[in-house]
Amino acid sequence: MKVKYFAWVRERVGKAEETIEPPATVRTVEELIAWLSGLGEAYAYAFEKPKVIRAAIDHAHVKPDAAIAGAREIAFFPPMTGG
Protein backbone atom coordinates (compact mmCIF):
# COMPACT_ATOMS: atom_id res chain seq x y z
CA MET A 1 0.00 0.00 0.00
CA LYS A 2 1.01 3.59 -0.56
CA VAL A 3 1.70 5.73 2.51
CA LYS A 4 1.85 9.54 2.51
CA TYR A 5 3.18 11.88 5.17
CA PHE A 6 2.42 15.56 5.63
CA ALA A 7 3.76 18.58 7.54
CA TRP A 8 6.10 17.70 10.41
CA VAL A 9 5.40 13.98 10.06
CA ARG A 10 6.79 14.25 6.51
CA GLU A 11 9.79 16.26 7.67
CA ARG A 12 10.61 13.81 10.45
CA VAL A 13 10.21 10.68 8.32
CA GLY A 14 12.27 12.41 5.61
CA LYS A 15 10.01 11.55 2.68
CA ALA A 16 6.58 12.51 1.38
CA GLU A 17 5.44 9.04 0.34
CA GLU A 18 6.50 5.45 -0.05
CA THR A 19 5.14 1.98 -0.69
CA ILE A 20 5.15 -0.37 2.28
CA GLU A 21 4.30 -4.01 2.86
CA PRO A 22 3.50 -4.51 6.53
CA PRO A 23 3.01 -8.09 7.76
CA ALA A 24 -0.54 -9.48 7.90
CA THR A 25 -0.51 -9.16 11.70
CA VAL A 26 -0.73 -5.37 11.26
CA ARG A 27 -4.48 -4.86 10.98
CA THR A 28 -5.35 -1.36 12.19
CA VAL A 29 -4.10 2.19 11.82
CA GLU A 30 -2.64 2.20 15.34
CA GLU A 31 -0.90 -1.13 14.69
CA LEU A 32 0.52 0.33 11.49
CA ILE A 33 1.83 3.35 13.41
CA ALA A 34 3.51 1.01 15.91
CA TRP A 35 5.02 -1.01 13.04
CA LEU A 36 6.26 2.12 11.23
CA SER A 37 7.84 3.35 14.49
CA GLY A 38 10.08 0.29 14.39
CA LEU A 39 11.48 1.04 10.93
CA GLY A 40 14.21 3.33 12.22
CA GLU A 41 15.10 6.44 14.17
CA ALA A 42 13.39 8.85 11.78
CA TYR A 43 10.11 6.90 12.02
CA ALA A 44 10.39 6.54 15.78
CA TYR A 45 10.78 10.33 16.01
CA ALA A 46 7.86 11.03 13.65
CA PHE A 47 5.53 8.71 15.56
CA GLU A 48 6.87 9.29 19.08
CA LYS A 49 3.47 10.64 20.20
CA PRO A 50 1.06 8.31 18.37
CA LYS A 51 -2.03 9.89 19.97
CA VAL A 52 -1.24 13.20 18.24
CA ILE A 53 -1.03 11.62 14.77
CA ARG A 54 -4.11 11.78 12.53
CA ALA A 55 -4.72 9.31 9.74
CA ALA A 56 -6.74 9.09 6.54
CA ILE A 57 -7.52 6.05 4.43
CA ASP A 58 -8.24 6.72 0.76
CA HIS A 59 -8.79 10.45 1.43
CA ALA A 60 -11.17 10.05 4.39
CA HIS A 61 -10.35 10.65 8.07
CA VAL A 62 -10.22 7.47 10.17
CA LYS A 63 -9.79 6.61 13.84
CA PRO A 64 -6.83 4.63 15.23
CA ASP A 65 -8.85 1.40 15.38
CA ALA A 66 -9.80 1.56 11.68
CA ALA A 67 -8.93 -1.56 9.66
CA ILE A 68 -6.30 -1.07 6.96
CA ALA A 69 -7.33 -4.07 4.87
CA GLY A 70 -8.03 -3.03 1.28
CA ALA A 71 -6.61 0.48 1.70
CA ARG A 72 -4.94 1.90 -1.40
CA GLU A 73 -3.49 4.96 0.30
CA ILE A 74 -2.95 5.73 3.98
CA ALA A 75 -1.83 9.18 5.10
CA PHE A 76 -0.39 10.32 8.42
CA PHE A 77 -0.29 13.93 9.52
CA PRO A 78 -0.51 16.27 12.53
CA PRO A 79 -3.78 17.96 13.57
CA MET A 80 -4.86 20.29 10.78
CA THR A 81 -4.27 24.03 10.92
CA GLY A 82 -5.80 25.39 7.71
CA GLY A 83 -8.44 28.06 7.23
Q: Where are the beta strands (DSSP E) in 25-81?
A: 54-57, 60-62, 73-77
DSSP structural state of residue 70? T
Which of 1, 6, 31, 39 lies at the binding interface for another protein (CB under 8 A)? 6
Q: Which stretch binds another protein (CB under 8 A): 24-32, 36-44, 56-64?
A: 56-64
Q: Which stretch binds another protein (CB under 8 A): 18-26, 32-40, 43-51, 71-79?
A: 71-79
Q: Quick one: CA torsion of 42, 45, 46, 49, rounded to 10 degrees? A: 160
Q: Give me the residues that bind another protein (CB under 8 A), please.
A: 4, 6-8, 56, 59-61, 75, 77-83
